[in-house]
Structure 1
Amino acid sequence: MSASQYRSGVPDNWFVDPVNLGVPGVRAPHPDEDNALAWQSDALCAQTDPEAFFPEKGGSTRDAKRICSSCDVRAECLEYALQNDERFGIWGGLSERERRKLKRQAS
């Protein structure tokens, strides 16, 4: 089979915009934010399995944190999570509990 005949099982329109889907906690950027979420296109998590970043309660966060540790936009991601009070998942290499602790220390 030639490369041009090969087709994976992933449809061309595999990406679903969580804002349009109505995912709880995901909001559209305010028009005044002027591309405030542009950093997401460079995020390593966007290229990996999202399940690693939203483990079940008590699940391991190790894989997600390892990916975050080498991500170029880790600081922007963490800043976004702190500003938007993200309550679930790994953002900027920190769990929700770690982000809460960081906010308490900053107060």
Structure 2
Amino acid sequence: MTGGLTGLSGLTPEDPGWQELALCAQTDPEAFFPEKGGSTREAKRVCQSCEVRQECLEYALGNDERFGIWGGLSERERRRLKRRIS
């Protein structure tokens, strides 16, 4: 999945430098890993204005991240997306 696409940040998902620009690194990490049935609203709100959202999503898809909010999507949403693009 990590085909080397470059987002607005100019970084690729393979380049860990995007993580330094991620807004989630400046907020409560617990919001991005809610308990089962917990709200994902706050994490997704942070993701909406994050400049490395695309790199984050590509990283999660390419590394089969199974937990948490990555690139503004939940585990279920990423699975659905992965099925659609496969």
TM-based fold match above 0.5: yes
Partner amino acid for 1:54?
F
1:74 aligned residue: 53
Percent of aligned pairs with the same amino acid: 79
In the TM superposition, structure 1's runs of 4+ consecutive aligned residues that sit over 2 Å from their partners are: none
| Pairing of 1:9-28 with structure 2 (within 5 A) | none
CA RMSD of aligned residues (A): 0.9
1:36, distance to aligned residue in structure 2 (A):
1.4
- Which structure: larger Rg? 1
Structure 1: stretches of 5+ with no match in the other structure: 1-34
Task: Give the 3-state SS of the residue equivalent to 1:85 in structure 2.
Answer: coil
Task: Give the 3-state SS of the residue equivalent to 1:36 in structure 2.
Answer: coil
| Pairing of 1:1-107 with structure 2 (within 5 A) | 36-107=15-86
Task: Give the 3-state SS of the residue equivalent to 1:90 in structure 2.
Answer: coil
Partner amino acid for 2:56?
C
Larger relative contact order (CA 8 Å, sep ≥ 6): 2
Structure 2: stretches of 5+ with no match in the other structure: 1-13
CA distance in 2, matches of 1:42, 1:65: 16
Partner amino acid for 2:20?
S
Aligned residues between the structures: 73
TM-score normalised by length of structure 1: 0.67
